[in-house]
Amino acid sequence: PGALGAAALVNGAPHFNGWVQAPSALVVETIARAGFASVTLDAQHGFATFDRIVEGIAAAALAGRPALVRLPLDGFSLAAQALDAGAAGVIAPMIDDAAMARAFVAAVKFPPIGRRSWGPNRGLSFSGLSRDGYLAEANRRTLALAMIETVEALAALDDILAVEGLDGVLIGPNDLSVALSGGAAVDPALPAVVKALDAIVAAARRAKKPAAIFANTPTLAADYAARGFSLVCLGPDLAFLQQGAARALADVGEA
């Protein structure tokens, strides 16, 4: 399925990722074959249990696409398990400061950067490398992305980006809008959110790390790509399904 190195994301054209919350193998394969460059299996707000993650990574691989996993909030124990299962990278939600980013990195990078425990299973076999080769390369080939979606994280952005082994940041504009509006609105179009975006892209450029973002709509996705976000996540699958179903009903005059 290929790796998703941070360096390629920094230098390449915008990369569109299909966000999957109901990751049966068939759904993941369908989203991957729709043409997204990679998929994300969401274990925070989606239904990506570990068994589904194991299946979902295989389904994405069948379509020749790498899979990322968004972790739940309760610690990082799933993080290295996902990499062992062949995930190309992991996304940690609600990272507020450099200490949290360092704890995340410790879980997913091998020494000397972190303390990921050895046992890479399918990650090793996908890589095509020897055991020593994987040990030498895995820190570069697997992505660790910290979600920036709180007021605290915005204030600590440069410190978070400076954490060694953290490959980049991924903006959660929904949570960020809730945070920046003091709980008054969930709306990525809020001026305070939009204003933060250019500063985030600039900070990531200074750190030579990719800035990624989740987009609620294709229009927002295109806008984020134009602003310089190098990885733009679009979805989720359940919204595609709901919107397609509603449009079909409307087309037959039922809505």
In the list 148, 173, 193, 231, the residue contacting ligand 3PY (rule: CB under 6 A) is 173
Closer to ligand 3PY at the Cβ: 14 or 173? 173
Q: Which does 173 bind (CB under 5 to 8 A by kind): ligand 3PY, Mg ion, none?
A: ligand 3PY
For residue 69, the minimal CB distance to Mg ion (Å) is 15
Which does residue 214 touch among Mg ion, ligand 3PY, none (CB within 5 to 8 A, set by kind)?
Answer: ligand 3PY
Of 135, 174, 187, 205, the residue at the interface with ligand 3PY (CB under 6 A) is 174
Query: To 5 degrees, how large is the angle CA 160–CA 6–CA 175?
Result: 45
Q: Which of 85, 45, 49 is nearest to 67 (CA)?
A: 85
User: Minimal CA–CA distance to 209: which of 171, 153, 168?
Assistant: 168
User: Annotated catalytic residue: which of 30, 33, 45, 187?
Assistant: 45
Q: Which residues pair with 234 in a beta bridge?
A: 18, 215
Q: Is the peptide bond before 236 cis (omega within 30 degrees of 0)?
A: yes
Q: Which one of residues 29, 55, 149, 237 is an interface residue with ligand 3PY (CB under 6 A)?
A: 149
| Residue number with CB closer to ligand 3PY (138 or 143) | 143
Among 175, 179, 197, 231, contact with ligand 3PY (rule: CB under 6 A): 175
Partner from ligand 3PY, Mg ion, none contacting 5, C-beta within 5 to 8 A by type: none
Task: Provide, rounded to whole angstroms, the least separation between the CB of residue 173 and Mg ion.
Answer: 8
**Does residue 134 interact with ligand 3PY by CB under 6 A?**
no
Is the previous residue joined to 111 through a cis bond, with omega within 30 degrees of 0?
Answer: no
For the segment 146-165, give every residue that binds Mg ion (CB under 5 A). Answer: 149
The only residue of 56, 66, 172, 210 in contact with Mg ion, by rule CB under 5 A:
172
| Residue 128: burial class (beta carbons within 10 Å; 0-12, 13-18, 19+) | exposed
Contact partners, residue 119, CB within 8 Å, separation at least 6: 84
User: Where does residue 21 rank: exposed (0-12), middle (13-18), buried (19+ CB within 10 A)?
Assistant: buried
3-state secondary structure of 12: coil
Mapping DSSP to helix (H, G, I), strand (E, B) and coil, where does residue 146 land?
strand
Does 14 engage in binding with Mg ion (CB under 5 A)?
Answer: no
Give the C-alpha distances (Å, rounded to integers) separating 236 from 190, 192, 241, 251. 21, 24, 9, 22
Instruction: Pull the structure tokens for residue 31.
Output: 């989203």
DSSP character for 21? S
In the region spanning residues 112 to 151, those forming contacts with Mg ion, defined by CB under 5 A, are 149
Least Å distance, CB 182 to ligand 3PY, is 16
Closest approach of Cβ 87 to Mg ion, in Å? 19
Is 15 tagged catalytic?
Answer: no
Helix (H, G, I), strand (E, B) or coil at 107: helix
Interacting residues with ligand 3PY (CB under 6 A) = 149, 172-175, 214
Applying CB under 5 A, which residues contact Mg ion?
A: 149, 172, 175
Known catalytic residues are 45
